[in-house]
Structure 1
């Protein structure tokens, strides 16, 4: 082992000193200093290894663009009017407002589709030969309805007049090689169509994937933007793809709608009983406490009234304060 004098010669200094001191280190002190620095480097290396081990989903973390801390939930700025249903609705799982027909459409988990007046009177109904229908929306341009199928992760196009299924769109589960929609997972629970005159298909869909665990490696709680060949294809079966997504910091997405007046998404979450106003990049603008329970769908009409479909068959109407 080299002596302190030899170390001093190698370093080109007459003495090994501290940062702000001229005092000389003895050999034991020098060894202690070197040992402490080696230990510090080892600690940093271990921390880096742990980060790599516990955070393998780098892509998912990076893709959570603009996921800022959500604002604290406040009181809903709407006054509850009450349940408007005049007839029994079987397990409603989605609701939408049809601007051309000036009516509400409600879909049930077992395939029951209803059209009702704005005060809750059922105009007509039909049983679709499909199950696990978990969301409903409308394309104002062609008037057709679109329902999302849980598990299969498909979108059904439904004729507004005959209530027949016209086309079926299967959604690609991956985005840039990353599986966002897990096969045999909780599946899609919400859907909304956002019109865009400049888009070649007339607009895009946004769908919400249900998750009950926000930990990494679990099924992600995400809202995905989907491009569907509404105009460019006439095939009865076609494919849609995810073109964008953002992660949510809340579980159990159960409903989606589009606020046309303020150009933003409205998301409801069943278990936490929340209603969130969200920008297209995922930034939560407002978060409100949602009264009731088992909320399965949300709709907004042109007057600003909100309609919440509950699993118990009720459609709760709210008026802006």
Structure 2
């Protein structure tokens, strides 16, 4: 009888436990992360205007100081990096020359100025789908938290859609295998969002952390950036993805 009682207890403990990841790097104020498919590396942005290029195992390969920028998210492309600036918009950096270009963004949408950038709850995440950039507006209140879809060209860049997802404190964003993924700092959640159906299709409870960035590689791993100073690596299947 002791064996029969023990088995369900073990199963319950496993089912109730949050998925655990492996800390692969210690990076101060890691506020965004993106996978670079061509170089098979990761770019990690931090709040003090610095970005790091690291290996998938967490080795720091390069550290670059861009200046006095509050970097809150990053998209890595073959030739350029696209950064979300919390209160100022978008910054594009050439990966080879490190030349910087500020993107001018018209924040008017449907005839009204969209409260996308402010000191209390600005932009915290960025993703790119085709030639559209998705910017997540962070707010502790669900009704004030949304995603602005921006068309980068022609000048000036304009907001063409607003996604009201009703999730508070969305601080990290990425696009992977046809879905938009968000992490909520306040709620310790990983959210899978269907852009066609315009709704969340899966929510996964994460271990406690100041989650502000998410990235997927091509080997079946997920990376989360923690603003408390670490990069955590998970297997997709461990997260149920």
Q: TM-score, normalised by structure 1?
A: 0.64
1:179 is aligned to 113
How many residue pairs match? The answer is: 220
Q: Secondary structure at the match of 2:156?
A: strand
1:79 Cα deviation (Å)?
A: 5.1
Deviations 1:157-180 (A, max 9, x none): 111234x24311122222111333
**Cα offset, 1:293, TM superposition:** 1.1
d(CA) in 1 for partners of 2:67, 2:47:
11
Where does residue 228 of structure 1 map in the other structure? 152
CA distance in 2 between counterparts of 1:193 and 1:138 reads 9
Structure 1: stretches of 5+ with no match in the other structure: 1-74, 196-202, 233-237
Question: 2:141 matched to which residue of 1?
Answer: 213
Q: How does 1:304-319 map to 2 (within 5 A)?
A: 304-319=220-235
Query: What residue number does 1:167 align with?
Result: 101
Gaps (5+ residues) in structure 2?
1-14
Distance 1:298 1:183 in 2: 21
The answer to whether the Cα contact below 8 Å between 1:93 and 1:109 also exists between their aligned partners in 2 is: yes
- Counterpart of 2:72 in structure 1 is 134
Q: Distance in 1 between matches of 2:235 and 2:112?
A: 41
Q: Cα 1:252–1:306, aligned 2, differ >3 Å: closer, same or farther? A: same
Within the alignment, does 1:278 sit opposite 2:193 as a pair?
yes
Detail structure 1 runs of 4+ shifted over 6 Å in the superposition.
none
> Closer, same or farther in 2 for the Cα pair 1:295/1:127, shift >3 Å?
same
The higher radius of gyration belongs to 1
Q: Distance in 2 between matches of 1:110 and 1:193?
A: 23
**Larger % of strand: which?**
2
Structure 1 residue 210 displacement after superposition:
0.8
2:180 is matched with which residue: 248, 265, 268?
A: 265
Quote how far apart the aligned CAs of 1:313 are. 1.4
What is the aligned partner in structure 2 of residue 156 from structure 1? 91
TM-score, scaled relative to structure 2: 0.85
Taking a change above 3 Å as real, the CA distance of residues 298 and 182 of structure 1, as seen in their structure-2 partners, is closer
